[in-house]
């Protein structure tokens, strides 16, 4: 393990741990954590990749862990940061073949990254676990579930503030629109009992994707619980 850093396009210092194989390997994975998490949350998932011979990179997303930033990107700002992490890997290993794997906000992040025009061809697959369709959708769901409030006017006001302060539009921050543009294969994973990012979202995302794709819905799993509830099933599907 070693700790490394890069600089974002807007000048933030972004931190990550990388776990390297003792023997040469050109298989890499970038593991993206969820909302309010940090890079240590992905170490257990990383251990499965490590056992398969992958070099593992676990970043702290902006405004999380040791990475700088005032505003959480909810995946939309982070997609550009993930592209920089792929470039970092390619500088280290020009022969790298890279998987992007994210959970929750990290799942949304890797889907948003998958639709970018400048995604390097060395990114060979994306694994998204319980990501949401869009930032607007997940905020609207939470307003309803927690406070029984409609999107108007609270979310519309929040969106105006997000544009000015955080520099992005909640409506445009859409994993759903990004997966429609993806050329890289995507594996969609969700729990059947996810009451935070509702399970319906994974079917909407899967149906929207025009790329090579597969889906795994783990029965009985809540939000972010799929790999802990059914690790054999989960990683058999991932590495398959």
Cβ 192 vs Cβ 229: under 8 Å: no
CA distance 66 to 198: 30
Can you read off the two tokens belonging to residue 190?
Answer: 């969700």
In terms of Cα–Cα distance, which of 86, 13, 78, 79 is closest to 55? 86
Classify residue 200 as exposed, middle or buried by CB count within 10 Å of its CB (0-12, 13-18, 19+).
exposed
Where does 85-151 show beta strands of DSSP type E? 97-103, 123-129
Q: Has this prediction a pTM greater than 0.85?
A: yes
What are the φ/ψ torsions at residue 28 (nearest 5 degrees)?
-130, 150
Half-sphere exposure of 27 (CA within 13 A, CB side): 12
Question: Distance between CA atoms of 129 and 187, rounded to whole angstroms?
Answer: 8
Q: What are phi and psi of 118, to 5 degrees?
A: -95, 20
Token code pair at residue 48: 């499965």
* Tens of each residue's pLDDT in the chain, 240 residues: 999 999 999 999 999 999 999 999 999 999 999 999 999 999 999 999 999 999 999 999 999 999 999 999 999 999 999 999 999 999 999 999 999 999 999 999 999 999 999 999 999 999 999 999 999 999 898 888 777 778 888 898 988 988 988 889 998 999 999 999 999 999 999 999 999 999 999 999 999 999 999 999 999 999 999 999 999 999 999 999
């Amino acid at each position: 393990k070693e700790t490394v850093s890069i600089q974002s396009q807007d000048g933030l210092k972004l931190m990550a741990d990388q776990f390297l194989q003792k023997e040469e390997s050109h298989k890499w994975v970038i593991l993206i954590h969820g909302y309010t998490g940090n890079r240590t949350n992905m170490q257990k998932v990383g251990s499965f990749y490590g056992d398969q011979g992958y070099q593992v990179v676990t970043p702290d997303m902006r405004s999380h862990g040791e990475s700088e930033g005032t505003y959480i990107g909810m995946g939309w700002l982070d997609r550009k940061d993930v592209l920089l992490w792929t470039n970092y890997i390619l500088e280290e290993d020009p022969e790298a073949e890279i998987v992007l794997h994210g959970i929750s906000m990290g799942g949304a992040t890797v889907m948003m990254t998958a639709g970018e025009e400048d995604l390097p061809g060395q990114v060979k697959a994306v694994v998204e676990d319980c990501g949401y369709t869009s930032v607007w959708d997940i905020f609207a769901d939470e307003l309803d579930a927690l406070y029984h409030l409609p999107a108007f006017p609270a979310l519309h006001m929040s969106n105006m503030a997000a544009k000015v302060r955080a520099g992005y539009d909640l409506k445009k921050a859409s994993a759903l629109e990004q997966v429609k543009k993806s050329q890289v294969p995507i594996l969609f994973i969700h729990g059947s009992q996810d009451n935070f990012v509702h399970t319906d979202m994974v079917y909407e995302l899967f149906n929207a994707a025009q790329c090579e794709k597969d889906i795994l819905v783990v029965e009985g799993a809540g939000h972010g619980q799929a790999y802990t509830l059914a690790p054999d099933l989960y990683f058999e599907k991932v590495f398959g």
